[in-house]
Structure 1
């Protein structure tokens, strides 16, 4: 993908990851999280950081797929 396409993917996905994190952690308390039956023994900032990067990666992957499909459609219609 060209550099411009990466900017189209990276910036909106960064913003939406921030919004999603605010929404999720307005409802979920990181100290009450459990993993495989046991309490998750991480600090709050560690949970917030990991969640943000996971949200960002998933949203960026979705956006990148959309950009890739749109470019593929443009190439097909140009032929």
Structure 2
């Protein structure tokens, strides 16, 4: 079975709790393909499923967030 580099993890999205976020920007460093920073350094999360090759990076962004403001939602949370 071959994998498609552009395949996604169906239904898996990154969510942000803006009340917890303090704008460290670490998430954008770890997952820049999916997270941009606004002019004040707060994350803007792409509203699309996370591509399968980026799931490990997404999990790391969630676990390394200093404010615990990120979570994975959907099928590949584990």
- Normalised-by-shorter TM-score class: under 0.3
Given the two structures, how large is their TM-score scaled by the length of structure 1?
A: 0.26
Q: Which has the higher strand share?
A: 2
Given the two structures, how large is their TM-score scaled by the length of structure 2?
A: 0.26
Q: Which has the higher helix share?
A: 1
